[in-house]
Amino acid sequence: MDKLEAAWLFAEIADLLEIKGDNPYRIRAYRRAARALKGFPGDIRRLWQEGRLATIPGIGKELAAKIDEFLRTGTCRFLEELRQEVPPGLLAMLAVPGVGPRTVHTIYSHLGITTLAQLEEAARKRRLRQLPGLGAKTELKILKGINLINNRQGRVPLGVALPLAEELSQDLAALDGIEALSFTGSLRRRRDEVGDIDILVATGQGEKIIEFFSHSPHLARILAKGKNRIVAVSRLGIEVDLWAVTPDQYAPALLWATGSRRHYRRLQERAASLGLELAECRVLKSGKAIQLEEEKDIYRLLELDYIPPELREDRGEVEAAASGRLPSLVTLADIQGDLHCHTNWSDGIENIEEMAAAARALGYRYLAITDHSHSLGIAGGLTPERVLEQAEEVRRINEKLPAGFQLLAGAEVDILPDGSLDFPDGVLRQLDVVIASVHSHFRQDRETMTRRIIKAISNPHVDILAHPSGRILGRREPYEVDLEAVLAAAAQWGTVLEINASPDRLDLTDTWARRAREMGVKLAVNTDAHAGEGLGEMAYGLTVARRAWLEPQDLINTWPWERVRDYFAKR
């Protein structure tokens, strides 16, 4: 643990030096030292006691002296001085996903920005993209990260909580003495918003692990700390709960801590009927603890198929597991393409070729280019003439792409207030994929909005309804619409409904996506990406699909393009 704490120290020094614009060679020396310490297999305390710290690769006399000071005093004067020199608001910027110390230095040195509010204002006014080394792509990512942080209203979007949880877990996984580690609670069940980050570790050194974790640079303050548990607040303002149990307690503790409460209560009832008792850290039979290696062993004891965490909400999963009727849930490996993305023809950041390259790098077989239609002026929407011009460009680019991958010419067409579409049918029929969506007049009453959407999706040229409820997590509630009626119309017309994978949307929700499946409606998980990097958010949408009990055949973008094309043609 000493080596990881020393690595944290050097990493923080490097960050602060980079924010200040210090000598790049000096910054790199501290970063190399941090990496060297993380990967060093030996005991640095023993080397310290023997006066041999400088023998560690990447650690010279100057850095060895700082490790010596840290091991003797628990602190480092140089680090404390740097913390005083750097405005606190600049450190807060590092909490924004996608913002590193070099970016902070650039923003501070050119614009004098010292707060998140100032950073958000600059991003909205498109001032960041003018700075050297940033550009529109970075500006968009910063703005999206700030929105996710600012608009959580007591709950934390999965897109904020999961990356932080993964960083915390990587640090813990590097420690000696940890035999197993997992997220628990609503994060493990992949709910779209979570209350906090819960982590469970199996170790015989619980007290040491808790003490180590209390010094993590990701934490802002400690709320409670015991021998085997710590509750703290992260720099992002998210509560983090780490619980350490012994290896023999891990499987039952993981089951209990994952929840949900109603799911666990159902398991307890089933256990009792079989002469077993489920407790927080053990499973008992006739008062004696049963040795268990993993969660699957507990489900096996209960005569159940293993229930994936995403399904543990007491929605019939226990009965399905008892009768062998659990779904074979869709995975990322099943996805063959993405049917909703934007390029720099409208409000996207990258060009068509760059988006194609990003999709190919993910192993996709196809990607639909679906830029906005002209009514969405704020997004640089395309006129009918421009969208047909883009379609020709997409087809020209296709001729140069390798076999096995195909670009599709499409559009995201606005549903106008009366339910008509932003492009005429003569334009729509020339496109491979037509997505319809609501981007205006969100406050229409329930009857009007429902009639508006149903009219749009009954058009035979509309293939997919995008982000059907219109919600944006923490910022915009779903509009008033009768989704049951919309699903019935989609089933009648064969229109596909989207699960929008953007972490600030995740729309449809899991409950409505499951209802869609029950009604025979096909779905697609799409990213709505505005840059190649955004295509990687597909995994967030798949968490919704899995919570909705969806199998690969339920999602059209697990199909080959030829099958998708035929499905659209037969509508």
pLDDT (tens place) for every residue of the chain, 571 residues total: 566 777 878 888 999 999 999 989 889 888 888 877 776 666 777 778 777 777 777 788 888 888 888 888 877 888 889 988 988 888 888 878 778 899 999 999 999 988 888 998 998 899 999 899 888 888 888 887 787 677 655 678 898 899 899 989 988 988 889 999 999 999 999 999 998 999 999 999 999 999 989 988 888 889 999 999 999 998 778 899 999 999 999 999 999 999 999 999 999 999 999 999 999 999 999 989 999 999 999 999 999 999 999 999 999 999 999 999 999 999 999 999 999 999 999 988 899 999 999 999 999 999 999 999 988 777 788 999 999 999 999 999 999 999 999 999 999 999 999 999 999 999 999 999 999 999 999 999 999 999 999 999 999 999 999 999 999 887 788 999 999 999 999 999 999 999 999 998 999 999 999 999 999 999 999 999 998 999 999 999 999 999 999 999 999 999 999 999 999 998 7
539, 570 contact by CB (below 8 A): no
Structure tokens at 113: 């920005």
Rounded to whole angstroms, how far apart are CA atoms 14 and 20? Answer: 10
Among the listed residues 92, 125, 119, the one whose alpha carbon sits nearest the alpha carbon of residue 106: 119
Q: What are the angstrom distances between the C-alpha of 285 and each of 254, 261, 278, 307, 446? A: 19, 22, 9, 22, 55
Counted residue by residue, the chain has a size of: 571
The 8-class DSSP code of residue 519 comes to T
Reduce the DSSP state of residue 28 to 3 states and report it.
Answer: helix
Complete domains list, the chain, with CATH: 2-150 (1.10.150.110), 157-322 (3.30.460.10), 332-570 (3.20.20.140)
What is the enclosing helix (H) or strand (E) of 570? helix 561-570
Largest Cα span, the chain? 81
Kindly list the strands in the beta sheet with 239-245, ordered across the sheet, starting from the edge strand earlier in the chain.
178-183, 197-203, 239-245, 229-234, 219-225
| 3-state secondary structure (DSSP) of residue 435 | strand
Q: Please, which contacts does 205-213 make with residues 24 or more away whose CB atoms are closer than 8 Å?
A: 205/177, 206/244, 206/245, 206/246, 207/244, 208/1, 208/177, 209/172, 209/175, 209/177, 209/178, 209/242, 209/244, 210/242, 210/244, 212/1, 212/4, 212/5, 212/175, 213/172, 213/242
Structure tokens at 479: 């509009």
Neighbours of 114 (CB within 10 A): 18
How far, in whole angstroms, is CA 172 from its chain's centroid?
Answer: 20
> What are the structure tokens assigned to 293, written together?
């290696």
- Short-list 468, 521, 515, CA closest to 494: 521
C-alpha dihedral sign at 165, 168, 174, 177: negative
Contacts (Cβ under 8 Å, ≥6 apart) of 444: 417, 452, 479, 480
Query: SS3 of 194, please?
Result: strand
Angle at 422 between CA 421 and CA 426, to 5 degrees: 80
